[in-house]
Amino acid sequence: DAKTTQPTSMDCAEGRAANLPCNHSTISGNEYVYWYRQIHSQGPQYIIHGLKNNETNEMASLIITEDRKSSTLILPHATLRDTAVYYCAFTGGGNKLTFGTGTQLKVEL
């Protein structure tokens, strides 16, 4: 299974794009990259996932480097409600999802 590295915390001004990085240099070819967020102690909330191609949905964009060793989650216009812990995670080993340590994103006025 891939191991992940995420910054412990990041700040972002409201209305600006938040770019959250994740390094996963040991990822294998069949492991999907997932991003979740967690607000307080609520259950993790799905944001987006991908395998090789960049992905976009109504919440965010996911940019995966060509070598797949890193990815970036982009929240295009961050709001105060986006303050949360953001986790990148990986599938593999038959379907299990393994989480990184997470980045605490703080969106400020």
Partner 1 sequence: DAGVIQSPRHEVTEMGQEVTLRCKPISGHNSLFWYRQTMMRGLELLIYFNNNVPIDDSGMPEDRFSAKMPNASFSTLKIQPSEPRDSAVYFCASSFGQNYGYTFGSGTRLTVV
Q: Which one of residues 51, 77, 79, 108 is an interface residue with partner 1 (CB under 8 A)? A: 51
Shortest Å distance, C-beta 95 to partner 1: 5
Q: Which one of residues 61, 63, 99, 104 is an interface residue with partner 1 (CB under 8 A)? A: 99
Token readout for 80 is: 């105060």
Contact between 32 and partner 1 (CB under 8 A)?
yes
Distance, CA of 105 to CA of 20 (rounded, Å): 8
Residue 23, strand partner residues: 5, 70
Contact between 49 and partner 1 (CB under 8 A)?
yes
Distance, CA of 21 to CA of 19 (rounded, Å): 6
Query: What are residue 81's phi and psi, to 5 degrees?
Result: -70, -10
Binding residues for partner 1 (CB under 8 A): 32, 34, 36, 41-46, 49, 51, 87, 91-99, 101-102
